[in-house]
Amino acid sequence: MLALSLTTLASEHIAAARATSSGRSAHTIHGGHDHHLRQTLLAVAAGHSLGDHNSPDEATLYVLHGHVALTTTTQTWNATVGDYLTIPAQRHNLTAIEDSAVLLTVATPPAVADERSNTRP
């Protein structure tokens, strides 16, 4: 069993994000290519973003610290500490309005996860 403080991890990764030119830092808490569920803590320094990208599977976002904006071509959602968003199945980006940390949860359908496992050398 894994037990950790998301608050402490968020603080550590926000500090790391501030120190990088990309303004980002991430840590996979659970999962990976051999799992159907992946949870990743993402920290983004104020003014930086995760540029436009697609969400390949079902995904949610929970704001642990700060203020972020999730934007698609037609809509923007602002989220602050404690807010939970279902990430739309369309191209989107995430921008940190303030230094922020979010918990990204992605569920991969079993067939996709099984394909990934079977194609590894």
Assigned domain for 70 exists:
yes
Comparing C-alpha atoms, which of 74, 48, 62, 43 is closest to residue 106?
62
How far is CA 65 from each of CA 17, 29, 119, rounded to the nearest angstrom?
13, 17, 37
Question: Residues 15-59: pLDDT tens digits?
Answer: 999 999 999 999 999 987 788 889 999 999 999 999 888 876 789
Q: How many domains does the chain have?
A: 1
Assigned domain for 86 exists:
yes
Assigned domain for 110 exists:
yes
Assigned domain for 83 exists:
yes
Assigned domain for 1 exists:
no
Q: Identify the CATH number of the domain in which residue 17 sits.
A: 2.60.120.10
Question: Residues 66-86: pLDDT tens digits?
Answer: 999 999 999 999 999 999 999
pTM of the predicted protein model: 0.85
Task: Indicate the average pLDDT of the chain.
Answer: 89
Instruction: Return d(Cα 112, Cα 55) in angstroms, integer.
Output: 14
In which domain, by residue range, is 39 found? Answer: 6-118
